[in-house]
């Protein structure tokens, strides 16, 4: 009888270990998913200033433009991707804070127009609203460190 009890206890211990490992893995995956939605400026760009900052932010905008451009079934996606690509090229060409902020402002204006078109068509515009938020954070970063 004792060996049977020991076997059940051993089985329960191993099962608890698997459950705990599974829970920790799920928590890490969920945490990683949350990090993916963090603003683009929270990454490595925050430590940069001047031209290096503009180039880093331009790279982030190019990445966003690629993501938006790959969206299927959204008639506003091509216009939004073009606006982000234009902002990225203007950021790379920016020689000072004013030019960099102008590029971000133009992109925000274009994305606001995309949001209005989406709303007029009865489509969801939350993804574009997040892009506006990211652009606003980029503008703040340029004002602080640019």
Give how many domains the chain has, as a whole number. Answer: 2
Residue 26: domain span: 1-37
* Residues 77-135: tens digit of each pLDDT: 999 999 999 999 999 999 999 999 999 999 999 999 999 998 998 988 888 999 999 99
**Are 32 and 45 within one domain?**
no
Q: Are residues 64 and 135 in the same domain?
A: yes
| pTM given for the model | 0.68
Q: Does 111 lie in the same domain as 97?
A: yes
Same domain, 31 and 49: no
3 confidence band (pLDDT: 50, 70, 90): low
Q: Are residues 24 and 46 in the same domain?
A: no
Q: What per-residue confidence (pLDDT) applies to 71?
A: 86
Reported as a single tens digit per residue, the pLDDT across 48-88 is: 889 999 999 999 999 999 999 998 888 999 999 999 999 99
Distance CA 35, CA 62 (A): 19
Task: State how far the Cα of 85 lies from the Cα of 71, in Å rounded to an integer.
Answer: 15
pLDDT in tens, 5-25: 555 666 666 666 666 766 565
Query: In 3D, which of 10, 21, 5, 131 has the Cα closest to residue 77?
Result: 131
94 exposure class (CB count in 10 Å sphere: 0-12, 13-18, 19+): buried
pLDDT digit string, tens, across residues 132-146? 999 999 999 999 987
Q: How far is CA 85 from CA 13, 57, 105, in A?
A: 55, 11, 14
Whether the Cβ atoms of residue 143 and residue 101 lie closer than 8 Å to each other: yes
Same domain as 65, residue 28: no
**CA–CA distance from 9 to each of 12, 17, 91 (Å)?**
5, 12, 63
Contact present, 84 and 68 (Cβ < 8 Å): yes
Do residues 33 and 101 both lie within one domain? Answer: no
Average the pLDDT over 27-44 and give the result: 53
Instruction: Mark whether 53 and 26 lie in a shared domain.
Output: no
């Amino acid at each position: 009888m004792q060996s049977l009890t020991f076997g059940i206890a051993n089985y329960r211990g191993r099962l608890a270990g698997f459950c705990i490992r599974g829970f920790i893995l799920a928590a890490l995956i969920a945490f990683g998913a949350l990090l993916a939605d963090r603003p683009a400026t929270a990454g490595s760009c925050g430590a940069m200033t001047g031209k290096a900052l503009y180039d880093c932010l331009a790279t982030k905008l190019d990445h966003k433009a690629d993501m938006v451009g790959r969206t299927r079934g959204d008639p506003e996606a091509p216009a939004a991707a073009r606006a982000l690509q234009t902002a990225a090229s203007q950021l790379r060409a920016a020689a000072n804070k004013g030019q960099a902020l102008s590029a971000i402002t133009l992109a925000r204006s274009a994305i606001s127009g995309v949001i209005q078109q989406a709303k007029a068509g009865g489509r969801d515009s939350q993804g574009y609203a997040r892009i506006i938020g990211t652009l606003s954070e980029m503008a703040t970063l340029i004002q602080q460190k640019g």
